Amino acid sequence: MSPEKPMEAQMSVDSLYREDIFTDQRVGTVRRMTPVRSDGSDDPARAVIFIGQATVMTPMGSLPLSFELPAKTLAEAVAQFGPAAQQAVEEAARELQELRRQASSSIVIPEAGAASLKGMGGKGGLQLP
């Protein structure tokens, strides 16, 4: 992608889905993604996809989670929601721990000229050319 030609947002008529949302208004939502043709009719050649969504509160605020539910029916997706949400929480916690580890072990290299600051080997104050 070049700065002269911005990316065009173009939908694929071969990848359209109708979205239905189901919630218990307590734990989360299940999105049923039903494949459709370009005229809006169901496309039975492609499988229905179920996606679970939940929000977890962390010390830094809310963390939205989204995870696939390998189900064939809404009832199966609802039954799988709890274990899949728990797995998504555990994976997110592992990713956050890894990001913290990487951040704490990163080496900070001062920019050129930073050594001339007081306490860094300079004569005090900023050194001007």
The neighbour count for residue 74, using CB atoms within 10 Å, is 15
Residues with Cβ within 8 Å of residue 68, at least 6 apart in sequence: 49, 50, 51, 52, 84
Apex CA 76: angle with CA 71 and CA 82, to 5°?
A: 100
Contact status, residue 82 vs residue 76, Cβ threshold 8 Å: no
User: What pLDDT score was predicted for residue 112?
Assistant: 65
54, part of any domain = yes
108, part of any domain = no
41, part of any domain = yes
Domain that holds residue 49: 12-82
User: What pLDDT score was predicted for residue 127?
Assistant: 47
How far CA 38 is from CA of 13, 34, 35, 44, 118, in Å, comes to 6, 13, 10, 13, 67
53, part of any domain = yes
Q: What is the mean pLDDT of each run of 10 residues along the chain (129 residues)?
A: 72 95 96 97 97 90 94 97 96 88 75 56 49
69, part of any domain = yes
Pull the structure tokens for residue 107.
């080496």
33, part of any domain = yes
Q: Based on the structure, what is the number of domains in the chain?
A: 1
103, part of any domain = no
29, part of any domain = yes
User: What pLDDT score was predicted for residue 3?
Assistant: 59
* pTM value > 0.85: no
